């Protein structure tokens, strides 16, 4: 089962604005008519109710939305790109790959914009003023957001079935729901989690997750349990299935202690969930099997409810369901994870005005992502375009910072290989 993947996603870049002038016969006042660029496509996550794994992301790990089209003459707006929709199963938790913080819990049916597409740039018609009537420059489109994320599937289930391998969890699930898990008389028959919807009567139901057999050391990666313990993170309660037949030679008290120790090692919160102990395989109990008085005392001491059942013959299964429904009525709803990742506003290309200034052999080298984007808009052979560039630098404090660094009249300023002499 594929339930945790790391992928790269990038939204589309905005299209560039167009530099164009209206030139028609018999039209004396043409003027600039460059159209705006289209917006880049968003990357959107959407729940697919029919999916239960992240298999579609096993081999395809890079997703890039389309870019917006450039603007055109005659004020024609460039086409915006379509959004890129990524389908995920309900219960998928999206984390920032670098920090591990939660970006979004995809447990509801509302689509979520994971990466925003860049806005299209303005055409030169927006830069026309009474004193700048022939603007020979336009604005470049903004780059779309990009990031690496981890998709982690945590199943949406009310009840988790836990216990050692071959204790009858899959058999129980098949009896109380329409699920058809693989059933056989050997360990690790179940290789992936199974979900089943239980009809509790009176138009009520709840979801049960059968987790592959956990063994001692599962929290450290042994067996299969480590891979699937995340699927019971959300469960409101646990049904702890133990084998009391005596056929396996196992001690049910020790089994419960070991499983709970693994749950606690994985998550103390998970180990504290309410439990019902389902003592299974009573139909196959051996005559020479150890007395269960110590087992019953241990369960009572821990405040758990105990139900003796036979999943095979369905003995007391109905009683187990009634106790489960009664307990669910007292518990809060299925857990939802709150976002932890806060986007750094300075990372927004449209608001980031950070620059670096270095004095290299008497030349003041100025760099900054926003300046680099700005230079893509400028026609340095055009006087008005060059004046717009200098005014933008001054308005955003670049000249003030140069003076703080000690620049003097006549000193050389280099901005991405474009050099000019500084004049106050």
Determine the longest span between alpha carbons in the chain, in angstroms: 110
- Model confidence at 335, pLDDT cuts 50, 70, 90, reads confident
Radius of gyration of the chain (CA): 32
Residue 184 confidence (pLDDT): 44
Q: Cα separation of 78 and 16, whole Å? A: 8
Q: Which residue has the higher pLDDT, 350 or 297?
A: 297
Q: Cα separation of 279 and 294, whole Å? A: 13
Here the tokens at position 98 are: 């670098």
Here the tokens at position 361 are: 């052999």
Single out the residue of 331, 317, 277, 334 nearest to residue 301, CA to CA: 277
By percentage, how much of the chain surpasses pLDDT 70? Answer: 87
Q: Cα separation of 221 and 232, whole Å? A: 16
Residue-wise pLDDT tens digits, 85-100: 999 988 899 999 988 8
Residue-wise pLDDT tens digits, 22-51: 777 766 667 788 889 999 999 999 998 877
Residue 1 confidence (pLDDT): 52
Burial class of residue 27 (count of CB atoms within 10 Å of its CB; 0-12, 13-18, 19+): exposed
Here the tokens at position 108 are: 């509801």
Residue 180 confidence (pLDDT): 67
For the chain, domain boundaries: 1-156, 159-328, 351-421
Mean pLDDT in residue range 3-7? 88
Residue 229 confidence (pLDDT): 74
- Model confidence at 190, pLDDT cuts 50, 70, 90, reads very low
| Average pLDDT of the residues of the chain | 83
What's the CATH number of domain 159-328, 3.50.50.60, 3.40.50.880, 3.40.50.300, 3.30.420.10? Answer: 3.40.50.300
- Model confidence at 391, pLDDT cuts 50, 70, 90, reads confident
Residue pair 43/7 in contact by the 8 Å Cβ criterion: no
Residue pair 66/80 in contact by the 8 Å Cβ criterion: no
Residue 189 confidence (pLDDT): 43
Angle, CA of 154, 156 and 158, to the nearest 5°: 125
Residue pair 120/71 in contact by the 8 Å Cβ criterion: yes
pLDDT of residue 224 exceeding 50, the answer is no
The neighbouring-strand residues paired with 146 are 10
Q: Which of 146-160, 281-295, 332-346, 384-398 has the lowest mean pLDDT?
A: 332-346
Q: Which of 206-215, 308-317, 322-331 has the lowest mean pLDDT?
A: 206-215
Mean pLDDT in residue range 396-409? 87
Place of tokens 């009474």: 130
Domains 159-328 and 351-421 share a fold: no
pLDDT of residue 218 exceeding 50, the answer is no
Q: Cα separation of 223 and 411, whole Å? A: 69
Q: Which residue has the higher pLDDT, 362 or 305?
A: 305
pLDDT of residue 319 exceeding 90, the answer is yes
Q: Which of 129-138, 192-201, 217-226 has the lowest mean pLDDT?
A: 217-226
The top-scoring range by mean pLDDT among 33-47, 162-176, 224-238 is: 33-47
Here the tokens at position 411 are: 């000193």
Class of domain 351-421: alpha beta
Neighbours of 423 (CB within 10 A): 9
Q: Cα separation of 247 and 264, whole Å? A: 28
- 3-class DSSP string for the chain: CCCEEEEEEECCCCCCCCCCECCCCCCCCCCECCCCCCCCCCEEEEECCCCCCCHHHCCCCEEECCCCCCCCCCCCCCCCCCCEEEEECCCEEEEECCCCCEEEEECCCCCEEEECCCCCCCCHHHHCCCCCCCCCCCCCCCCCCEEEEEEEECCCCCEEEECCCCCCHHHHHHHHCCCCCCCCCCCCCCCCCEEEEEEEECCEEEEEEECCCCCCCHHHCCCCHHHHHHHHCCCCEEEEEEECCCCCCCCHHHHHHHHHHHHHHHCHHHHCCCEEEEEECHHHCCCCCCCCHHHHHHHHHCCCEEEECECCCCECHHHHHHHHHHHHCCCCCCCCCCCCCCCCHHHCCCCCCCCEEEEECCEEEEECHHHHHHHCCCCCCCHHHHHHHHHHHHHCCHHHHHHHCCCCCCCEEEECCEEEECCC
Residue pair 196/208 in contact by the 8 Å Cβ criterion: yes
- Does domain 1-156 bear CATH number 1.10.10.10? no
């Amino acid at each position: 089962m594929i339930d945790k993947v790391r992928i790269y996603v990038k939204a589309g870049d905005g299209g560039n604005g167009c530099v164009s002038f209206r030139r028609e016969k018999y039209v004396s006042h043409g003027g600039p008519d460059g159209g705006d660029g289209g917006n880049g496509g968003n990357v959107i996550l959407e729940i697919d109710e029919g999916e239960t794994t992240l298999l579609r992301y096993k081999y395809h790990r890079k997703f890039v939305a389309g870019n917006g089209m450039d603007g055109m003459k005659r004020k024609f707006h460039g086409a915006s790109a379509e959004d890129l929709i990524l389908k995920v199963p309900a219960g998928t938790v999206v984390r920032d790959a670098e920090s591990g913080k939660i970006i979004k819990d995809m447990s509801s049916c509302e689509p979520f914009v994971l990466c925003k597409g860049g806005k299209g740039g303005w055409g030169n018609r927006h830069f026309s003023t009474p004193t700048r009537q022939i603007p020979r420059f336009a604005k470049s489109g903004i780059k779309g957001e990009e990031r690496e994320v981890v998709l982690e599937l945590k199943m949406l289930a009310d009840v988790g079935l836990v216990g050692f391998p071959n204790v009858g969890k899959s058999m129980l699930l098949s009896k109380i729901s329409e699920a058809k898990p693989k059933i056989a008389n050997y360990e690790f028959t179940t290789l992936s989690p199974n979900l089943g919807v239980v009809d509790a009567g009176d138009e009520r139901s709840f979801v049960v997750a059968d987790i592959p057999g956990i063994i001692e050391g599962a929290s450290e990666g042994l067996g299969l349990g480590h891979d699937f313990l995340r699927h019971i993170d959300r469960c409101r309660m646990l049904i702890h299935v133990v084998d009391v037949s005596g056929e396996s030679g196992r001690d049910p008290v020790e089994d419960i202690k070991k499983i709970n120790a693994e749950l606690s090692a994985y998550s103390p919160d998970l180990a504290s969930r309410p439990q019902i102990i389902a003592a299974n395989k009573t139909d196959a109990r051996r005559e020479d099997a150890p007395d269960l008085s110590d087992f019953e005392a241990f369960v009572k001491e821990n405040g758990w409810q105990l139900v003796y059942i036979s999943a095979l013959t369905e003995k007391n299964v109905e009683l187990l369901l009634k106790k489960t429904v009664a307990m669910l009525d007292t518990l809060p709803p299925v857990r939802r994870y709150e976002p932890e990742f806060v986007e750094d506003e300075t990372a927004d290309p449209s608001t980031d005005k950070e620059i670096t200034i270095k004095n290299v052999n008497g030349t003041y080298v100025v760099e900054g992502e926003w300046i680099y984007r700005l230079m893509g808009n400028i026609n340095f052979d055009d006087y008005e375009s060059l004046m717009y560039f200098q005014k933008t630098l001054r308005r955003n404090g670049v000249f003030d910072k140069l003076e703080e660094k000690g620049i003097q009249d006549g000193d050389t300023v280099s901005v991405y290989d474009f050099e000019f002499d500084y004049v106050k």
